[in-house]
Structure formats: structure tokens, C-alpha cells
Chains A and B, each alone.
Chain A
């Protein structure tokens, strides 16, 4: 069974940093591109970042302005999101999501339950 379990969220002050993790199991992690998607309270979904299966290709949402860094460790079956210079507008639930394999321009077929990030003084 495919499982994605996020961790690392919490309460942080404006300007602070957090590192989110996503532990993957039930599939060959190193064969799949992965993504982070966030959702502010009561708002819609916002794609944050994606990373290819090998980690070679990375994309970010323009709104992040270079503050976030996505990475992965295929040996540990883990995806990460380093978030720096956090602001109130970064508050929300952060989901990791897997690309659907075998398709060009794939959707996200499995999602974790999410981890809550709250940025407040």
C-alpha cells in the first residue's frame, strides 16, 4: 500500500525556518517525481514545488521568491522541504504528493495527510 507521511510542521515565528519531511513507503520511491502542495486555512490548493525522480529537475512556485528548497533522499525514501524566512502567508497544511507514473505531464495520484505549518508571533 502506498503511504506518504508528512512531518516537521509546527508553530514558528515570522522570519523563522522549518524543514518538512515526507516518508514514503509501499512503492519504489526512486522511480517517481514528487511534489509539495499547500493549502492555507479555508483556501484552495497551491502547488509549491516538484522534484524529478533523480532530483535533477526541480521547479518552484514563483510566489516563494527563493525561500524554499525541495530535496530528496532516495536511499531513505524521503522527500524534504526546507522553508526559510517564513511569513504569515505561508501558514497552512503542506501535502506531499506523488506523480502518476507512466504518463507525460502527470497528475498527482497519491497524497499524504498533510502537516500543519503555522507562522505567528
Chain B
């Protein structure tokens, strides 16, 4: 595997389900990100992890819970979601060394909440 991978690619869940999105980067990067892309809206940053520590949480509802066990893996745990949470969830990674470093994205997980 190369680059940034995400699983599953598609997910349909009910509002009472619990599921997790997985992201893995094979680029040797030290920072990882979750973004949400809803229809007709710009991408929204959800979470940032640098060196496995969360550095930013853009007021995301608690029904989204991130986990970064090591610098290569990032999870987004989902529970009791709402239909408006249906979106494309994109993971990204970058090597942070004090510059505006490029973020590389995975293919995304398309989530539908029924």
C-alpha cells in the first residue's frame, strides 16, 4: 500500500449504530487530519493530530470521537449520528517541520446515515 488509505470506502448506518472509520498513512508523516465534506459546502476541518496528540478540535459534536494510536493510524469513532452527518469523510497526513507543508489525502469514506 502507498499513500493514504481509508476503510471502508462506503458506509451506511442507522442513527443508533456505532461504527469506526480507519485511516492509514504510508508516507512517514507525523501529522494526521480528519475533514468533512458535505454537499455544496467547503471542506471542514474536524480534527488535527500532531505526533499522536490532538492539537485542534473545531467544535465537533461529541458523537464523533477521534483516536490516533500511532503516527500511521487514525480512527474516527461514530455513535448516534444524525442524518445531517451524511458526508464524505477525508483523512489527510503531512510532515510538519514548521512550514506550510502539503497535506496528502486518502480516497475518503462516503457515509450515509439513515
**Same complex origin of A and B:** no
